[in-house]
Every structure is written in structure tokens, then in C-alpha cells.
Amino acid sequence: MSPEEFKEARQKLGLTQSELGRIIDTAPQTIRKWEMDESRSTARSVNPVAAQVMRWLLDGFRPPEWPAQ
């Protein structure tokens, strides 16, 4: 999953970086770095486990940490 795809998926789910961070137990700053253009020096590759969790979320899985609407 590319940084752009990851960001689009998060936005499609209506989650902020902080909310997604709580769901996958990751700092919002790390998510921000995963979503950065890969040419930036502080960017990081999207974690493969986080990418898989994102696919599950897109498929409808909702963990207990899901924000209340």
C-alpha cells in the first residue's frame, strides 16, 4: 500500500491520524510519516501490518477502539 493509498483509505473511513493511531496502537506522528511523499527525508514506508489492518477496516471490521459516532 502506497502512502497515498494509505491516506485515502484513512480518509474514506473518516478517521483522523489520532483516531487511527489509537486503533492500531501507533503514534499519530508515525501515521503522518507513513502518509508523507516518499521523497521527503522524514517519510517512512507504510508498515505492512498496518496496511493489512487498513484493508480489514475497509472491509468492515470494527475493533472496540473504533471511535463512537
pLDDT digits (tens, 9 = 90+) for 11-54: 999 999 999 999 999 999 999 999 998 888 888 999 999 999 99
CA separation, residue 61 to residues 36, 43, 44 (Å): 26, 28, 26
The reply to whether 68 falls in a domain is no
According to the model, what pLDDT value does residue 39 have?
Answer: 84
Residue 24, domain member (yes or no): yes
Give pLDDT tens digits for 54-68.
999 999 999 988 888
Domain-located, residue 13: yes
**pLDDT over 80 (residue 9):** yes
| Total count of domains within the chain | 1
- Residue 54 burial (CB < 10 Å; 0-12/13-18/19+)? buried
Q: 16 by DSSP, 3-state: which?
A: coil
- With a cut of 70, say whether residue 69 has pLDDT above it: no
Q: Residue 66 falls within a domain, yes or no?
A: no
Whole-structure pTM value: 0.86
Q: Does the residue 63 lie in any domain? A: no
Residue 15 covered by a domain: yes
- Give a yes or no: residue 65 inside a domain: no
